[in-house]
A and B are shown apart, each in its own frame.
Chain A
Amino acid sequence: MNDTALQYLLAAILVLPLLGAVAALLPAPPGLRGRDPGQAVLRHGVTVTGAVLVLSLVLAAGFDHGHPARMQATTDLTWIPALRVHLHLGIDGISLPLLVLTALLTFLCALYSYFRPPAASGQAASGADAGAPTARTGGPSPKAFVALVLLLESGTLATFAVLDLILFFLAFETVLIPMYFLIARWGGGDRERSALRFILYTVLGSVVMLLGLLLIGVKAGTFDMVALATDNGSSLSHSTQLIAVLAVGLGLAVKAPMWPLHSWLPDAHTAAPTVGSVLLAGVLLKMGTYGLVRILLPMAPEGMHTFAPYLAAFAVVGIVYGSLACLALARQGNGGDLKRLIAYSSVGHMGFVLLGIASLSPAGVNGALFANIAHGLITGLLFFLVGAVKDRYGSSDLDQLAGRTGAALYGRVPRLGGLLAFAAVASLGLPGLAGFWGEMLAMFGAFRPGGGLSRPAYLTFTAVAAFGTLLTAAYLLTVVRRICMGDRDTAHAQPVLADVRGYEFAAWTPLAALTVLAGLWPAVLLGLTDPAVRSLLGGN
């Protein structure tokens, strides 16, 4: 496929969800009305995200896999000359997998919501109203839900496809309002507080990031990410690079999230609806680590070199901290919430990603990018599964679910239990599944850090991270024991719970299959990222 076709394809991928979001707010045209307005608009969401997924798969097929380090499907149009902002789009081996992952996860979320329309959990319980939460105006209507999910999708896709610093910031900010409303309107528990906390934390981070981006742009005279990456920081003085890395890194670290800036994440995940959690963990967190790789590594290598050991130190603290928090939540009698537990496990997993990036070595950065994708698949699946458990039990409180002996999902709902155990062992990094390669490569990279970083320090980090994998295994196995296993009486308890339904299979199978595929054939991803990473690291 020639480059012009790819250009239009990429532009269509970014514009389609945006148009879809506007269309979702308009009344449905005759012939597409469906059973009721709610159903029609949810179907519209499935159609649009499905089209985006198909387009992104075509884009991936048309991508020149021989030269993944080259920017492909590039468009460069002047948009705002006053700010030197260009509509510069393009993808390479680093952004392509993330683009496809975003399209896939959003499509699966739309599909899942089509069969299980979203309802605010606070209102679902209020009697007669629960049956038709969609028909009432003013309540959380599926219309707004679909529009927000599509807006969120266009923001995330744009983050991975733009090649201009200011546009990157714009795309980075675009996801905030939709995610805020997804949590605040369709969430449960303390949703409005959690949503506000989520958005204020991330905006504080991203405004500081904007200052760093502006500093880079003002000093280097351009906001073009390709030009800046080719420049490799030579037009920025050492002190400029230090300040830029500090400011930009702070913003991205809040998003990633890096310990100790993670505290918005558990609350947001606990309150968010299933779809919100899946997208938040699966896609939004990746924007932070993607920014580190795409912006800071190539544009401010000296600054990165100075701050890399600190980043690595925070990363390994995050790994251990996340795992310990999960262990505490998993213990009997602590009243741990399953969603909260997975949120903390995300802090640990993203710690591995950050450690890989901080190693500044090709192996480490490749591992980080791999772990990014793997975490998106596995944690996305986990949040789907926990959402399903919560639907069936009406709670995600571990003690309430497990009782004294365990919830015995293997006996009550064998397929759901099996999938949950599968996702858990994938998450703990079992060889042969996706979780393994990323974390192994990240530690491998940290074992032999690039560019004259202190080896002894990094050996310590590697050792701590390795200890973290043990803790990860410990809490995930505890969860499996308490949720999936149990005594015979619980297994035959009434009422009988529904096992995995058809649409749930449809939404989860792709994630499970890709987890296996990426675990058995990591070269698919690594072949894409490796050349691009080497060129970003500037041949050192």
Chain B
Amino acid sequence: MPSLVQSVDWTALTPVVVPAALAVAVLVADLFLPPARKALLGWVTAAGLLAAGLTLIPLRDGHRGTFCQTPGASCSYAADHFTLVIQVLVLGGALLTALLSLATGTTDGTGEPPSGEYWFLLLSSAAGGALLPASRDLITLIVALEVTTLPAFALVGLRRGDRLASEAALKFFLSSVTATAVSLLGISFVYAATGTVNLSEVATALAHTPGQLDHLAKVGAALTLVGFAFKLAAAPFHFWVPDTYVGAPLPVAAYLSVVGKAAGFSGLILVTVIAFRPYHDVWGPALGVLAALTMTVGNVGALRQRPDAERGAVRLLAWSSIGQAGYLLVPMAAAASARSPAHEIGATVAYALMYGVVNLGAFAVAALVTRGAPAGRLDDYRGLYAARPLSALALAFFLLCLAGLPPGVVGLFAKVVVFSSAVGAQHGWLAVIMAVNVVIALAYYLRWTALLFTRPGQGAPAIPAQSPAAAASAAPGAGAAASAAVAGTPFALGAAIALTAAAGLVLSGAPQIVLRYAQGALL
């Protein structure tokens, strides 16, 4: 009988504890701060997330674990390399979201900083996201997943008095709760069949399930996967994404597209690669089909977006994020047939890091443009280069990274890594489907990029034909981008764009920084 009092390794836990503690602190501080100083809370949040990120540095050797049943073995919390990388992604994503929120607020455009509960919710969700990749048992995993998503419902609905926002929140809430319920059912089946919730012990037990429990275990595994697929927004469980992103405040949409996805795919990796390893011949092809379906649905959906639709930019980013989730699934499908699956999922992690940086960057520029043009149509980006050359160049760079074409070198190499894992695992069909999808995606990314450099007013449907000189000087609607230039760039937003652009450029010069995760075994 081991001692009932566990010794807890608090150093390993700091990346989770810091945001969680700060969340409570912010909520309390909100009560005592005068309204004029509320913006301070946002900066405290950003600083706290940065500090939480810095606490990862002492952990970087990646051998810590805590909440262990027997000392040193089957821990519930493992701070290995996989955990650390995903925590960097989650905390970095939350930090950039905080910067975006400081500039745009929850109402997009007024610039009024959000209230204290906003920061509380953001920090709680980030704490959950940081806990998730470290979880090594099914209960911790599901708790972490809920801690990540429950505050997100409230965040989505925070745009007060907006019918779209409450509808989005409700849609998000209902689909997410269904997913969790399905997952929980699956986990209970798995527990019933194996008698354990620890991931690696589940794997051992599944390999020797008695015959009468075999079906139960299989159904349990399938249901658990469905739950995580919902969070990752893999097709056919993607329908909530576009409406939710469009209804949510823009920074929250950015947060969901990066941190929400990170939570989904890291959970999926843990469950498939560790716990359901014995069933790899089933979930491998299933994930492959899911990947093909997801990327096709997402990219075709994005291709169908019209440039003059309200909030078309966010809607396009929402659909494209579904497409990108499909690419994330490809190495997982390849991991099933690989000799060392932990090696393959590195490609997913590397791709996710690239995607996180450039997608947040794209959202940051979108937030900037939306300040001047609240409708958020794609047409509002026409001639952005004339009004704000640097932002336009940054957005063009981010979009080309997402498309995977030079000068977005890091995007190209991230795609090469994903392709290479598919080719290496003999999944030629999946590679070919992905190739076609890359072309479809290029069409809409490029259309948007080209729009940035078109003359304001030129060929815009809203403006009657007139001489170009008059269009630029007289017509106020000619360049929504031009009117945005008047507003100026808030510091936080400028910092967010500069940070992501710098990260993208550095990664393009030295892709090894993210691609090294595709090299060694992470788990």
Q: Which of B467-523 contact A (CB under 8 A)?
A: 467-469, 472, 511-512, 515-519
Q: In the complex, which residues of chain A have a beta carbon less than 8 angstroms from the beta carbon of B472?
A: 136, 138
Is A82 in contact with B515, judged by CB distance below 8 angstroms? yes
Q: Top 10 closest A-B pairs, CB basis?
A: A138-B386, A82-B515, A82-B519, A207-B435, A174-B406, A214-B423, A204-B439, A80-B512, A138-B455, A137-B386
Given contacts A204-B435, A211-B431, contact A129 B469 (CB under 8 A): yes
**Complexed CA–CA distance, A217 and B447 (Å):** 33
**Complexed CA–CA distance, A30 and B121 (Å):** 52
Q: In the complex, which residues of chain A have a beta carbon less than 8 angstroms from the beta carbon of B469?
A: 128-129
Given contacts A139-B455, A203-B405, contact A170 B412 (CB under 8 A): yes
**Complexed CA–CA distance, A180 and B400 (Å):** 13
Could you show 5 A-B contacts with beta carbons less than 8 Å apart?
A: A79-B512, A83-B420, A207-B439, A215-B423, A217-B420
**Complexed CA–CA distance, A138 and B416 (Å):** 35
Q: Given A80, A184, A208, which contacts B413 in the complex, CB threshold below 8 Å? A: A80
Given contacts A80-B413, A81-B519, A127-B467, contact A192 B450 (CB under 8 A): yes
CB distance from A479 to the nearest CB of B (A): 34
Q: Which of B393-407 contact A (CB under 8 A)?
A: 393, 400, 405-407
Is B446 in contact with A199, judged by CB distance below 8 angstroms? yes
**Complexed CA–CA distance, A170 and B406 (Å):** 7
**Complexed CA–CA distance, A526 and B511 (Å):** 40
Interface 0/1 of A488-525, CB less than 8 Å to B: 00000000000000000000000000000000000000
User: Does B409 sit within 8 A of A, measured CB to CB?
Assistant: yes
- Of the candidates A79, A80, A184, A185, the one having the most CB atoms from chain B within 10 angstroms of its own CB is A80
Q: In the complex, which residues of chain A have a beta carbon less than 8 angstroms from the beta carbon of B383?
A: 138
Is A211 in contact with B435, judged by CB distance below 8 angstroms? yes
User: Does B27 sit within 8 A of A, measured CB to CB?
Assistant: no
- In terms of DSSP, what is the predominant structure of the interface of chain B? helix
User: Does A144 sit within 8 A of B, measured CB to CB?
Assistant: yes
Q: Given A25, A82, A155, A173, which contacts B512 in the complex, CB threshold below 8 Å? A: A82
**Complexed CA–CA distance, A493 and B104 (Å):** 66
Q: In the complex, which residues of chain B have a beta carbon less than 8 angstroms from the beta carbon of A173?
A: 405-406, 412
Q: In the complex, which residues of chain A have a beta carbon less than 8 angstroms from the beta carbon of B293?
A: none
Q: In the complex, which residues of chain B have a beta carbon less than 8 angstroms from the beta carbon of A83?
A: 413, 416-417, 420, 511, 515, 518
**Inter-chain pairs besides A83-B420, A204-B439, A211-B431, 11 sampled, C-beta below 8 Å:** A80-B512, A81-B519, A82-B512, A83-B416, A85-B413, A139-B468, A151-B407, A177-B406, A200-B439, A200-B443, A207-B439
User: Does A447 sit within 8 A of B, measured CB to CB?
Assistant: no
User: Does A123 sit within 8 A of B, measured CB to CB?
Assistant: yes
User: Does A373 sit within 8 A of B, measured CB to CB?
Assistant: no
Chain A residue with the shortest CB-CB distance to B384: A138
**Complexed CA–CA distance, A136 and B519 (Å):** 49
Is B446 in contact with A81, judged by CB distance below 8 angstroms? no
Given contacts A80-B413, A200-B439, A203-B438, contact A214 B407 (CB under 8 A): no
Chain A residue with the shortest CB-CB distance to B347: A82
**Complexed CA–CA distance, A272 and B409 (Å):** 26
- Of the candidates B393, B413, B417, the one having the most CB atoms from chain A within 10 angstroms of its own CB is B413
**Complexed CA–CA distance, A199 and B432 (Å):** 18
User: Does A210 sit within 8 A of B, measured CB to CB?
Assistant: yes
User: Does B245 sit within 8 A of A, measured CB to CB?
Assistant: no
Is B442 in contact with A200, judged by CB distance below 8 angstroms? yes
Q: Given B350, B416, B424, B442, which contacts A166 in the complex, CB threshold below 8 Å? A: B416
Q: In the complex, which residues of chain B have a beta carbon less than 8 angstroms from the beta carbon of A207?
A: 435, 438-439
Q: In the complex, which residues of chain B have a beta carbon less than 8 angstroms from the beta carbon of A200?
A: 439, 442-443
**Complexed CA–CA distance, A218 and B432 (Å):** 16
User: Which A residues have a C-beta under 8 Å from some C-beta of B?
Assistant: 25, 79-83, 85, 123, 126-129, 136-139, 144, 151, 155, 166, 169-170, 173-174, 176-177, 180-181, 184-185, 192, 196, 199-200, 203-204, 207-208, 210-211, 214-215, 217-218, 243
Q: In the complex, which residues of chain B have a beta carbon less than 8 angstroms from the beta carbon of A127?
A: 467
User: Does B436 sit within 8 A of A, measured CB to CB?
Assistant: yes
Q: In the complex, which residues of chain B have a beta carbon less than 8 angstroms from the beta carbon of A199?
A: 442, 446
**Complexed CA–CA distance, A127 and B468 (Å):** 10
Is B406 in contact with A155, judged by CB distance below 8 angstroms? yes
CB distance from B395 to the nearest CB of A (A): 14
**Complexed CA–CA distance, A82 and B442 (Å):** 26
Is A214 in contact with B416, judged by CB distance below 8 angstroms? yes
Chain A residue with the shortest CB-CB distance to B456: A138
**Complexed CA–CA distance, A169 and B446 (Å):** 19
Is A82 in contact with B417, judged by CB distance below 8 angstroms? yes
CB distance from B512 to the nearest CB of A (A): 5
User: Does B448 sit within 8 A of A, measured CB to CB?
Assistant: no
- Of the candidates B350, B406, B428, the one having the most CB atoms from chain A within 10 angstroms of its own CB is B406
Q: In the complex, which residues of chain B have a beta carbon less than 8 angstroms from the beta carbon of A180?
A: 446, 450
Q: In the complex, which residues of chain A have a beta carbon less than 8 angstroms from the beta carbon of B517?
A: 82
**Complexed CA–CA distance, A203 and B383 (Å):** 26
CB distance from B485 to the nearest CB of A (A): 11
**Complexed CA–CA distance, A137 and B455 (Å):** 8
Q: In the complex, which residues of chain B have a beta carbon less than 8 angstroms from the beta carbon of A177?
A: 400, 405-407
Chain B residue with the shortest CB-CB distance to A177: B405
User: Does B82 sit within 8 A of A, measured CB to CB?
Assistant: no
Given contacts A83-B420, A173-B406, A214-B420, contact A184 B450 (CB under 8 A): yes
User: Does B453 sit within 8 A of A, measured CB to CB?
Assistant: yes
- Of the candidates B405, B423, B442, the one having the most CB atoms from chain A within 10 angstroms of its own CB is B423
**Complexed CA–CA distance, A526 and B446 (Å):** 42
Chain B residue with the shortest CB-CB distance to A151: B407
Q: In the complex, which residues of chain B have a beta carbon less than 8 angstroms from the beta carbon of A184?
A: 450
Q: In the complex, which residues of chain A have a beta carbon less than 8 angstroms from the beta carbon of B439?
A: 200, 203-204, 207
Q: In the complex, which residues of chain B have a beta carbon less than 8 angstroms from the beta carbon of A181?
A: 450, 453
**Complexed CA–CA distance, A185 and B393 (Å):** 16
Given contacts A82-B519, A174-B406, contact A218 B446 (CB under 8 A): no
CB distance from A187 to the nearest CB of B (A): 12
Q: In the complex, which residues of chain B have a beta carbon less than 8 angstroms from the beta carbon of A174?
A: 406-407
User: Does B385 sit within 8 A of A, measured CB to CB?
Assistant: yes
Chain A residue with the shortest CB-CB distance to B511: A80
Given contacts A81-B516, A210-B419, contact A126 B467 (CB under 8 A): yes
**Complexed CA–CA distance, A185 and B385 (Å):** 14
Q: In the complex, which residues of chain B have a beta carbon less than 8 angstroms from the beta carbon of A196?
A: 443, 446-447
CB distance from A215 to the nearest CB of B (A): 6
CB distance from B324 to the nearest CB of A (A): 16
Given contacts A207-B438, A208-B435, contact A218 B385 (CB under 8 A): no
**Complexed CA–CA distance, A123 and B424 (Å):** 50
